[in-house]
Amino acid sequence: MSDLLVRVNPLEHYKSNVGPIEKEYLPECEVEIENIGWTLGNECPYRCKHCYSMSARRKGRDLTTEIIDRVVEQVSSLRVRTINLGGNEPLFTNGPDPRKTLLPYIIRKLVESGIDVGLTTSGITAMYLAKHHKEEFLLLNDVDISIDSPYPEEHNQNRGTDIFRDVLEALQLCRDHHKEFTLVMCAMNWNFTEDRIRALVELCTIYGCNVRINPIKPVETRHMKTALTAEQYYTGFSLLMELCESLDLTEPTLAAASNYTSSKRCPCGRKSFRIHSITPDGKIPISPCVYLHDFKVGNLLEDDLSELILSPQFQSFRRRNRNPEAIEGCSDCEINKICGGGCASRSYLYHLHTTGERSLFVKDPFCPKEQAKDHQFPQNPVIHPLNLVHRDYLCTWIGKPKALLPS
């Protein structure tokens, strides 16, 4: 498949605004930003092969308390409900020396502003906080611990170092402190198999945590080598939803396969957005979607956030959400009101790498009408309420192993 792909420069977004502004004549869906992700720094000791933020991070500038105060002031003005700290390993806000980290300051400022704070980490950030900044660790609403495989040797190989033990230590740490926590895996064609899915859910059952799956979004062309096929996607999620009860169903294609009538389709630019790490020239741009760096806009240190979320880049996402019939191949589909054409980033990126064309108004390659009919999914499931920062933040799925639920 790689021979047929169009090679795309993942750094092109640094040169100009390359994300197309489309169908400006269409109306938008409502906007009510509640959930934000924030990439804190440009340093990370790991080299995860599927990293989505590497092409949007450049070393050269660190955070300061003044910068943090400005960002917190801006997000507070929107009455944001949650912020997840991740992107790189969030401990490293100011280079590789953890003693220079401003993460505790960030957590305190956000919590003081009434915002629920989550953390996504390979394990090391949670452990460092618990050891050196216990008060800030206890302020966290919930913690996501990332894993690439429930098999230690595979996880370590994909991360480029021996850190599976950090996963287990962080899981135990969260359990000991009665912290709400989730084991999150980026689903790829080599790790989203029946044996690994069952082993992952078993690991979550042992430690008493949730499980979250982000199907890989091919931010770079090389990611297509490990991208899921539609068959792998629906087979894997059908098994997961058999083993678990859903806590979040913001993967639009899964919502459609499950006839989840409460779905509001892709949340990007509507309910959520991403704050990018600081650039070498001291700017902090934002984008409607964590995966689509092509649509980054503005500078949060100078621009008013309320104006940035009304920018053409954000409006394009909301027009796609409101008008699924304008997506090629979706106009006469009876489930487009649930699916909405699927995940905006997956649609855009798969199309980009296979055709060389940039467009949001293309349908998801995992079209549920075409691909999900041979798979079993619970119909219009009840989503169990739980306050997690990744709910309605990006196209994702979160579940709780059925073995952990009251019988």
Token pair, residue 368, equals: 């549920």
Residues pairing with 121 in the sheet: 145
Task: Note the pLDDT of residue 271.
Answer: 94
Task: Note the pLDDT of residue 1.
Answer: 42
Task: Note the pLDDT of residue 229.
Answer: 95
Q: CA 140, CA 180: separation in Å to the nearest integer?
A: 9
Beta carbons within 8 Å of 44's beta carbon, 6+ residues apart: 51, 57, 88, 89, 92
DSSP label at residue 268: B
Phi, psi of 329 (to 5 degrees): 90, -5
In a 13 Å sphere around the CA of 297, the CA atoms on its Cβ side amount to: 23
- What is the pLDDT tens value at each position of the chain, 407 positions in all? 445 788 888 878 888 889 999 999 999 999 999 999 999 977 766 666 676 666 666 777 899 999 999 999 999 999 899 999 988 889 999 988 999 999 999 999 999 999 999 999 999 999 999 999 999 999 999 999 999 999 999 999 998 889 999 999 999 999 999 999 999 999 999 999 999 999 999 999 999 999 999 999 998 888 899 999 999 999 999 999 999 999 999 999 999 999 998 888 999 999 999 999 999 899 999 999 999 999 999 999 999 999 999 999 999 999 999 999 999 899 989 999 999 999 999 999 999 999 999 999 999 999 999 898 889 999 999 898 889 999 889 899 999 999 988 86
Task: Note the pLDDT of residue 405.
Answer: 84
Helix (H) or strand (E) holding 85: strand 82-86
Residues pairing with 78 in the sheet: none
The alpha carbon of residue 396 and the mean position of all alpha carbons in its chain are separated, in whole angstroms, by 7
Token pair, residue 243, equals: 């083993």
Task: Note the pLDDT of residue 2.
Answer: 44
Q: CA 282, CA 62: separation in Å to the nearest integer?
A: 8
pTM: 0.93
Domains and CATH numbers, the chain: 12-401 (3.20.20.70)
Task: Note the pLDDT of residue 4.
Answer: 78
Task: Note the pLDDT of residue 113.
Answer: 96
